[in-house]
């Protein structure tokens, strides 16, 4: 089919490159976490818009949003820059943001524009930040901890 003889050619699966001693090293799966994921920063660039009815973006570490997200964002540390926006829930241990927020620690920089509620334990609002909404202080940090397991968020598992 399509003039190829092997399944890997039909599926356009790249063949592993031979190593120094002639052996092949399999390429990592795109669905497995990267080996250096513990220290990485993921970026949603200014040229990117992510939208959908039930979109949830999950980052195990730091996520910087420079583009536009129309969905929920969960992460360890979420930074929504001056150019970025999120329409949806943002859930993280630390959030530097413009958008509706639930986090243990929230920091609104001078360029932040937040329209919506903030639920927090610690809140810092820099001079110049714009905020329109209500603020709710909670004593139970467990209520604010982000869920980073895709199966739990999608309803596949219970917490």
What are the tens digits of pLDDT across the range 112-137? 778 788 999 999 999 998 888 899 99
Phi/psi for 30 (5° steps) reads -70, -10
Does this model's pTM top 0.95? no
| 84 vs 99: CA distance, rounded Å | 10
Tens-digit pLDDT profile for residues 39-84? 789 999 999 999 888 889 999 999 999 999 999 999 998 998 878 8
């Amino acid at each position: 089919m399509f003039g190829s003889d092997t399944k890997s050619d039909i599926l356009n699966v790249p063949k592993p490159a031979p190593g120094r001693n002639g052996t092949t090293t399999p390429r990592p799966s795109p669905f497995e976490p990267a080996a250096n994921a513990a220290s990485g920063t993921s970026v949603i660039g200014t040229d990117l818009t992510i939208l959908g009815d039930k979109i949830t973006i999950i980052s195990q570490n730091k996520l910087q949003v420079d583009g536009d997200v129309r969905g929920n964002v969960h992460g360890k540390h979420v930074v929504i820059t001056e150019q970025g926006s999120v329409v949806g829930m943002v859930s993280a241990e630390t959030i530097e943001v413009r958008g509706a927020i639930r986090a243990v620690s929230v920091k609104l920089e001078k360029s932040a524009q937040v329209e919506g509620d903030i639920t927090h334990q610690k809140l810092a609002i820099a001079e110049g930040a714009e905020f329109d909404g209500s603020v709710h202080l909670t004593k139970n940090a467990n209520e604010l901890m982000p869920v980073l397991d895709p199966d739990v968020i999608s309803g596949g598992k219970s917490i």
